[in-house]
Amino acid sequence: MKNNKYKIIISNKNLYREVELPSDAISFKVGTTQDCDVRLDKDLFFDDVRLDFVNSNDDWTVMCSDKVFLTTGDTRRLITAALNHGDTFFVKYQESSNDVFALEYMVDFDSTSRSFEREISIAGANVIKIGSAADNNIVVNSEYVTGDAIELVKQSDGYAVRVKSSTYGFYKNGVKTSGAEVLKNRDFFSISDFLFYLKDESIWTEASNRVKVNNLKFVDQRTKNNYPLFTRNTRVKYEVPTDSIGLLVPPQKPTEPTQNLAMTLMPALGMLALTVVVRGFMSNSSNKSFILFSVCSMSMGIITSVVTYFSSKKNTRLIVKTE
């Protein structure tokens, strides 16, 4: 089927990422390198990983970078593969053959709007069978459903799900389930391209000839409203922000000290000279001690001023250099 939108699911024990492949793109890169359209966290991998997706008339092909390869679980090492809805690959490192992540490719059924206009009553039914066979209570028919068989078994807290056969898996509220699940009131569930909504003792779905009902009462309510509305989990929805980015004003460049060393030392040098002159007119020993003390104090002041001046200039140069 052409004009579909496709998505890939990348997953391992530390990563789950859904990526929508742009239908108008010729190529699309996913990986850890800087040229990728979708960047993965490099810290989650031992080496750089990149997958190139190439679009040709709505048919997608995937190609690996030189450090990884694809496999479907057998001994073949694939560098490139044509993609079909429902394909699952394992991406592995070339050198060690260790797993990188699992890659799933499928039609993005969630990208289309859905209507829930057929109300199917399940009151009094202990087991509801849904599938492609004609003897099911709800028969679904599309190119994406082949031999699917699902049973909903009523219990005290809802409906237990038994997946007997499923081409592409069973989804509850947009998440693919792998084990036992229980559907509760107001849950959504899907089988391939069919979406259902459980409310009270009814199952709601689209009103079309793709869905047939056996041995259950139903009514088509063709009303124009937006309820119920299924919204994909926000953790797998990505939106490029369009807000303008404000620029931070850089701090003002520091300037070198403008004080003159000679002017800084002039008061201390003047006092020192005056002390020496006064010393010549005094002969008393006590005065000598006082003058000696004054000379020492002023000398320390001169040394401190010189050290402070050159230290300030050095720090200013370092700041200017680092910026």
What is the pLDDT, as a whole number, of residue 86? 83
What is the pLDDT, as a whole number, of residue 243? 76
At residue 85 the predicted structure's pLDDT band, cuts being 50, 70 and 90, is: confident
Highest averaged pLDDT of the listed ranges 270-284, 294-308, 309-323: 294-308
Q: Is the dihedral of CA 170, 171, 172, 178 positive or negative?
A: positive
pLDDT at 52 over 80: yes
What are the structure tokens assigned to 291, written together? 């003058």
At residue 5 the predicted structure's pLDDT band, cuts being 50, 70 and 90, is: confident
At residue 167 the predicted structure's pLDDT band, cuts being 50, 70 and 90, is: confident
Environment class of 124 (CB within 10 Å of its CB; exposed 0-12, middle 13-18, buried 19+): exposed
At residue 279 the predicted structure's pLDDT band, cuts being 50, 70 and 90, is: low
What is the pLDDT, as a whole number, of residue 108? 84
Could you tell me whether strands 38-39 and 27-31 are parallel, antiparallel, or unpaired per DSSP bridges?
parallel
Question: Mean pLDDT in the chain?
Answer: 82
At residue 226 the predicted structure's pLDDT band, cuts being 50, 70 and 90, is: low
pLDDT per residue over 192-204, tens digit each?
889 999 998 999 9
Q: Are 130 and 138 in contact (CB under 8 A)?
A: yes
At residue 242 the predicted structure's pLDDT band, cuts being 50, 70 and 90, is: confident
Q: Are 272 and 298 in contact (CB under 8 A)?
A: yes
Separation CA 276–CA 269 (nearest Å): 11
Q: Are 89 and 70 in contact (CB under 8 A)?
A: yes
Number of H helices, E strands in the chain: 2, 23
**CA–CA distances in Å: residue 45 to residues 8, 19, 48:** 19, 18, 7
Locus of tokens 């810290």 = 43
pLDDT at 1 over 50: no
For residues 180 and 322, which has the higher predicted lDDT (pLDDT)?
180
Separation CA 122–CA 170 (nearest Å): 20
Separation CA 19–CA 7 (nearest Å): 5
What are the structure tokens assigned to 187, written together? 């849950």
Which residues are registered as beta bridge partners of 198?
Answer: 203
At residue 286 the predicted structure's pLDDT band, cuts being 50, 70 and 90, is: low
Flag the least confident range among 27-36, 117-126, 166-175, 240-249. 240-249
For residues 237 and 42, which has the higher predicted lDDT (pLDDT)?
42
What is the pLDDT, as a whole number, of residue 180? 81
What is the pLDDT, as a whole number, of residue 150? 94
pLDDT at 245 over 60: yes
Q: In what order do the strands lie in the sheet with 80-82?
A: 38-39, 27-31, 50-56, 59-64, 80-82
Give the DSSP letter string of 20-51. EEPTT-SEEEEESSTT-SEE--GGGSSS--EE
**CA–CA distances in Å: residue 263 to residues 92, 167, 309, 317:** 73, 90, 12, 22
The one-letter code for the residue type at 291 is: I
Locus of tokens 């997608």 = 60
pLDDT at 98 over 50: yes
